[in-house]
């Protein structure tokens, strides 16, 4: 684990970085490795199970994930293989295919704190990505892992779970969302650096 003070600021709803399409990573550099370490620390500090680079202000195609639970029975080959190795960083991830039932599940997000809504997603996906070691993986994932991966890949495409939420749930949280957006925009305006001469 990295030294204390390496916890990154999680960008909140209303921050423009969350709406950008992230750039592919061309080289797994020391800076990327350091960022991954800090993202994992931040994810744990915030009690999350996934965190995408845009959520910490880096518009690159990378996310970290930890959906490994000791008592969990994993239903897919990918989960059996990769969950025990978590936390993992996945670089330039893409969903090759999806299958199974479309299942509603209440999601939350570290960038949209204290707001939850039901989102329908496919139960299984085939994910292709590179690991931090440069190994190309392609495997089938299901359960919470598949959902978390879909949620994080959405972040890389500038999509938030509230964009996909059930309309009825969205109505219930619309006011809170607007308040959060206004709070973020106000904080960003205050923080704008003065122009240097």
Q: Give me the tens of pLDDT residue by residue for the chain, a chain 197 residues long.
A: 344 558 999 999 999 999 999 999 999 999 999 999 999 999 999 999 999 999 999 999 999 999 998 767 888 999 999 999 999 999 999 999 999 999 999 999 999 999 999 999 999 999 999 999 999 999 999 999 999 999 999 999 999 999 999 999 999 999 999 999 999 999 999 876 655 54
Contacts of 28 (CB under 8 A, 6+ apart): 91, 130, 132, 134
Q: What pLDDT is recorded for position 69?
A: 86
> Is 2 within a domain?
no
Question: What residues make up the domain containing 45?
Answer: 16-188
Q: Can you give the CATH number for the domain in which 86 is found?
A: 3.90.45.10
What is the C-alpha to C-alpha distance for residues 124 and 150, in angstroms, rounded to an integer? 10
Residue set of the binding site: 109, 151, 155
Residue set of the binding site for Fe cation: 109, 151, 155
Number of domains in the chain: 1
Distances in whole angstroms, Cα of residue 117 to Cα of each of 55, 78, 175, 187: 19, 27, 13, 25
Q: Is cis: bond before 87, omega within 30 of 0?
A: yes
> Is 158 within a domain?
yes
Q: Extract the tokens encoding 88.
A: 């993992």
> Is 39 within a domain?
yes
> Is 8 within a domain?
no
> Is 53 within a domain?
yes
Q: Choosing from 46, 152, 168, 178, which is the catalytic residue?
A: 152
> Is 196 within a domain?
no
> Is 138 within a domain?
yes
Q: Which of 38, 27, 28 is nearest to 4 (CA)?
A: 38
Any idea what the Cα angle at residue 51 is, between residues 139 and 68, rounded to 5°?
50
> Is 10 within a domain?
no
> Is 27 a residue of the active site?
no
């Amino acid at each position: 684990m990295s030294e204390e003070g390496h916890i990154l600021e999680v960008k909140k709803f209303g921050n423009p970085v969350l709406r950008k399409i992230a750039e592919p990573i061309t080289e797994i550099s020391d800076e990327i490795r350091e960022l991954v370490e800090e993202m994992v620390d931040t994810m744990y500090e915030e009690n999350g199970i996934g965190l995408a680079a845009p959520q910490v202000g880096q518009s690159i195609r990378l996310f970290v994930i930890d959906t490994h639970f000791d008592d969990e029975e994993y239903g897919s080959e990918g989960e059996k293989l990769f969950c025990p190795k978590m936390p993992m960083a996945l670089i330039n991830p893409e969903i090759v295919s999806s299958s199974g039932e479309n299942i509603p599940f209440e999601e939350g997000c570290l960038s949209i704190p204290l707001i939850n809504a039901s989102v329908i997603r496919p139960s299984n996906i085939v994910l292709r990505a590179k690991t931090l070691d440069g190994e190309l993986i392609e495997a089938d994932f299901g359960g919470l892992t598949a959902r978390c991966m879909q949620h994080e890949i959405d972040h890389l495409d500038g999509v938030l779970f509230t964009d996909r939420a059930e309309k009825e749930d969205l109505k219930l949280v619309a006011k809170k969302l607007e308040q959060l957006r206004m709070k973020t925009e106000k904080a960003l305006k205050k923080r704008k650096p003065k122009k240097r001469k």
